[in-house]
Structure 1
Amino acid sequence: MSRDVFIVSNSTDELGGVTGWTHQTARLFASQGHRVHTVGIHASDLTMALPERSGPVTALYPAHPPTPWAPRGTLDRLRLPTRRREAARVARKRQAVARLSEIFATARPGAVVVVTQVWAMEWVGEADTTGLRVVGMSHESYDYSRASHRYRWIRNHYKDLDHWLVLTEEDADKWAGDGMDNVGFLPNALSRLPLVPSPRSARTVASIGRLSDQKGIDLLLDTWARVAPHRPDWRLRVYGAGEDEAVLRAQCTALGLDGSVEWMGRTDDVDAALADASVFVQSSRGEGFPLALLEAMASGLPCAAFDCAPGVREIVRDGEDGLLAPAGDVDALADRLLRLTGDPLLRDTMGDRARAGVQRFSEQETLRRWEELFAFLER
Structure 2
Amino acid sequence: MPCLKRFDLLIEAFADIAPKHPDWTLRIYGAGPEKGPLQQLIEKHGLGAQAALLGVVSPIEPEFAKASVVASASNAESFGMTLVEAMRCGVPVVSTNCPLGPAEIIRDGVDGRLVPVGDRQALSTALADLIADEPGHRRMGRAARRAAHRYDPERIVDTYEDLFAELATTRKTRARQRSKARSRAMAARLVRRLGGR
TM-score normalised by L of structure 2 = 0.79
Partner-residue secondary structure (3-state), 1:215: coil
The residue identity in structure 2 corresponding to 1:348 is R
The residue identity in structure 1 corresponding to 2:8 is D
Inter-partner Cα distance in structure 2 for 1:286 and 1:278? 23
Contact 2:84 2:148 in 1 (8 A): yes
What is the RMSD computed on CA atoms of the aligned residues? 1.9
Inter-partner Cα distance in structure 1 for 2:145 and 2:104? 14
Where does 1:315-326 land on structure 2 (aligned, <5 Å)? 315-326=105-116
The reply on whether 1:308 has 2:102 as its aligned counterpart is no
Inter-partner Cα distance in structure 1 for 2:144 and 2:108? 11
By relative contact order (CA 8 Å, sep 6+), the higher-ranking structure is 2
Contact 1:288 1:312 in 2 (8 A): no
Deviation at 1:350, TM superposition (A): 0.3
Partner-residue secondary structure (3-state), 1:213: coil
Deviation at 1:310, TM superposition (A): 4.3
Deviations 1:281-333 (A, max 9, x none): 11101112101100111100011111112420121100111111111101001
CA spacing shift, 1:340–1:372, aligned 2, 3 Å? same
Deviations 1:19-61 (A, max 9, x none): xxxxxxxxxxxxxxxxxxxxxxxxxxxxxxxxxxxxxxxxxxx
Contact 2:26 2:52 in 1 (8 A): yes
The reply on whether 1:356 has 2:143 as its aligned counterpart is no
Contact 1:302 1:347 in 2 (8 A): yes
Where does 1:259-274 land on structure 2 (aligned, <5 Å)? 259-274=49-64
Inter-partner Cα distance in structure 1 for 2:33 and 2:123? 24
Inter-partner Cα distance in structure 2 for 1:278 and 1:292? 15
Match of 1:293 in 2: 83
The residue identity in structure 1 corresponding to 2:114 is L
Partner residue of 2:13 out of 212, 217, 223: 223
How many equivalent residue pairs? Answer: 168
Deviation at 1:226, TM superposition (A): 0.7
Contact 1:282 1:304 in 2 (8 A): yes
Match of 1:277 in 2: 67
Inter-partner Cα distance in structure 2 for 1:233 and 1:313? 30
TM-score normalised by L of structure 1 = 0.42
The reply on whether 1:239 has 2:17 as its aligned counterpart is no
Identical positions, percent: 37
- Structure 1 or 2, whichever has the larger Rg, is 2
Contact 2:65 2:86 in 1 (8 A): no
Match of 1:13 in 2: none
Contact 1:238 1:263 in 2 (8 A): yes
Unaligned runs of 5+ in 2: 172-197
Partner-residue secondary structure (3-state), 1:262: strand
Contact 1:216 1:283 in 2 (8 A): yes
Contact 1:321 1:353 in 2 (8 A): yes
Match of 2:176 in 1: none
Match of 2:191 in 1: none
Deviation at 1:374, TM superposition (A): 5.5
Deviations 1:262-295 (A, max 9, x none): 2211101312101211111111011121011001
The residue identity in structure 1 corresponding to 2:59 is D
Deviation at 1:373, TM superposition (A): 5.7
The residue identity in structure 2 corresponding to 1:365 is R
The residue identity in structure 2 corresponding to 1:330 is R
Deviations 1:309-366 (A, max 9, x none): 2420121100111111111101001000001111210111000011011211221232
Deviations 1:89-146 (A, max 9, x none): xxxxxxxxxxxxxxxxxxxxxxxxxxxxxxxxxxxxxxxxxxxxxxxxxxxxxxxxxx
